[in-house]
Amino acid sequence: MSALDRSAPPVSGALRDFSFPVVDRKELANGLDLRVARMNRLPMVNVSLFMRASEDALGHDRAGLAVLTADALEGGTKRRSGSDFAESLEKIGARVSASAGWEGTTVGISCLADRLPEAFAIMAEAVREPAFPEAEVRRALDQQLATIRQRKMDPGALATDSARAAYFAPDVPYVRAVDGTVASIEAMSRDTLRGYVEANYRPEQGGLVVVGDVEIDEVAEMVTKHFGDWRGAPVQIADFEVRAATTERRLILVHRPGAVQSEVRLGHVGTFRSTPDYYSLSIANMVLGGMFTSRLNLNLREKHGFTYGVRSRFTFRSSPGPFQISTAVGNDVTAPAVREAMRELAHMADGGPTQEEVAAARDYAAGVFGLQLETSGQVATRVNQLLIYGLADDHYDRYRDEVRAVTAEAATAAAAVHMRPSEAQIVVVGDADAIKQPLEDLGLAKVEVVGRD
């Protein structure tokens, strides 16, 4: 064997291009927007029904209602008890899930293709004829209350919740946790849930996405059979203005006596999904903290060994969601880690990424996109995004070109607008006795110590 030259990476082979699966579209008479993509590598199918029954349209007094309603759908239908509902699906190997969030409610099926007609019928039953038996509603409610309690004692979740409250003005829905508060949940009953479904589960303003080993005609037939006579007036779309709680920098220390580590969140109000500089901003964020070789990770983890990991992220929603850096660090390095994170944020906001960094992030984003279109579930998730955010049908066909077109200048401009270190809300959950003074000494802001309740 001739000796191999190992000194440089191998030359790439010939690129095999690929396209996003073809998505067929059909609008039903009742306004249901049906989108079907055929993938037949394996006999799987993935369905998701998206309805504009969203948490962001609910006032604080009804916070968590969309989430609770979705969770309680598994409590049974007018024809089946909760246990029978689970049994009829699981005996055919189907998994049905229901969940709700800021943008809406999604009911999904994942099953083998030959089981779809049965699973689809049962899923339709859950959406159109939920029974909400008293005991099942009580249980969903108790579970949600217990989850809220659990989150208060989980340092990571507590940090995220406290940070959100620091970013958003008190009347903005995003200020609260998506699954509500003890007060709002305790006030709900089966009638509240029934009323919510009646007023908000609708064929219009949402859509049905089916991806996998199926034909569109087959799907259209099922949809007509089970959803053809589904009607309802359009729902009230959320109407609110996102405002920050403050534009002053703050440093809030949530005291957790005896904590051996600090959970750090650092951020402010970000921007919305349809921002025109979406791609440039995404690239700037990847360089800051959106990949392993990001500035934050190379600094805090690989250079200083402060943390197991650190990341930054813009949560893009229909309205501006949070922009946030998050990490967990030891007590003795909490202050230096906050200092370095702030330094990287300021550096990115002031100077933007370099040409080389932008090129690396672009290549990563364009490449990894193709890697994540392997499964019916991944493709269904993508098609759903089109529905949720009202993106163009050819969005994914253009995606890689858009990413590759991002320049260092554009990414720098996006960072300057959307990353604002002077407005950063720094939230640390940790042992105040160990970390307060060093944080104070950073001189970033006066340290405000609060209890965890």
* Residue 73 or 342 having the CB closest to another protein: 73
Q: What is the DSSP string of 86-128?
A: HHHHHTTT-EEEEEE-SS-EEEEEEEEGGGHHHHHHHHHHHHH
* Residue 51 or 111 having the CB closest to another protein: 111
Tokens of 304: 């200083």
* Residue 48 or 376 having the CB closest to another protein: 376
Task: State yes or no: residue 260 binds another protein (CB under 8 A).
Answer: yes
Tokens of 198: 């009646």
Closest CA to 58 of 49, 67, 46: 67
User: Shortest Cβ distance from residue 215 to another protein (Å)?
Assistant: 18
Choose which of 152, 194, 243, 395 interacts with another protein (CB under 8 A): 152
Which residues are paired to 250 by β-bridges? 425
Choose which of 32, 259, 341, 435 interacts with another protein (CB under 8 A): 259
User: Shortest Cβ distance from residue 26 to another protein (Å)?
Assistant: 25
Residues 90-119 that bind another protein (CB under 8 A): 90-95, 110-112
User: Shortest Cβ distance from residue 183 to another protein (Å)?
Assistant: 16
Whole-angstrom distance, CA of residue 253 vs CA of residue 262 = 10
CB atoms within 10 A of CB 397: 13
Give burial (CB, 10 Å; 0-12/13-18/19+) of 366. Answer: middle
* Residue 346 or 359 having the CB closest to another protein: 359
Pattern of binders to another protein over 378-407, x per CB under 8 A?
Answer: ------------------------------
Task: State yes or no: residue 150 binds another protein (CB under 8 A).
Answer: yes
Task: State yes or no: residue 434 binds another protein (CB under 8 A).
Answer: no
User: What residues contact residue 259 under an 8 Å CB cut-off, 6+ apart?
Assistant: 155, 331, 429, 430, 431
Choose which of 121, 146, 237, 450 interacts with another protein (CB under 8 A): 146
Whole-angstrom distance, CA of residue 101 vs CA of residue 174 = 11
Whole-angstrom distance, CA of residue 350 vs CA of residue 341 = 14
H/E/C letters for each residue in 46-70? EEEEEECCCHHHCCHHHCCHHHHHH
Tokens of 163: 């940070």
* Residue 142 or 215 having the CB closest to another protein: 142
Choose which of 139, 194, 249, 347 interacts with another protein (CB under 8 A): 139
* Residue 1 or 233 having the CB closest to another protein: 1
* Residue 12 or 233 having the CB closest to another protein: 12
CB 266 within 8 A of CB 307: no
Whole-angstrom distance, CA of residue 174 vs CA of residue 324 = 14
Task: State yes or no: residue 143 binds another protein (CB under 8 A).
Answer: yes
Choose which of 130, 155, 180, 267 interacts with another protein (CB under 8 A): 155
Phi/psi for 241 (5° steps) reads: -105, 130
* Residue 112 or 417 having the CB closest to another protein: 112
* Residue 172 or 365 having the CB closest to another protein: 365
Task: State yes or no: residue 69 binds another protein (CB under 8 A).
Answer: no
Choose which of 51, 57, 287, 328 interacts with another protein (CB under 8 A): 328
Which three-class secondary structure state does DSSP give residue 429?
strand
Closest CA to 277 of 406, 133, 424: 406
Choose which of 48, 69, 261, 425 interacts with another protein (CB under 8 A): 261
Choose which of 23, 32, 36, 44 interacts with another protein (CB under 8 A): 44
Size of the site for another protein (CB under 8 A): 83
Tokens of 147: 């989850």
Q: From the CA atom positions of the chain, what is the Rg in Å?
A: 24
Q: What one-character DSSP code corresponds to residue 300?
A: I
CB 97 within 8 A of CB 89: no
Task: State yes or no: residue 330 binds another protein (CB under 8 A).
Answer: yes
Amino acid at 43: P
* Residue 99 or 147 having the CB closest to another protein: 147
Residues 262-291 that bind another protein (CB under 8 A): 263, 291
User: Shortest Cβ distance from residue 41 to another protein (Å)?
Assistant: 5
Binding segment for another protein (CB under 8 A), chosen from 49-57, 201-209, 301-309, 311-319, is: 301-309
Whole-angstrom distance, CA of residue 112 vs CA of residue 277 = 40
Whole-angstrom distance, CA of residue 274 vs CA of residue 392 = 11
Task: State yes or no: residue 87 binds another protein (CB under 8 A).
Answer: yes
* Residue 240 or 308 having the CB closest to another protein: 308
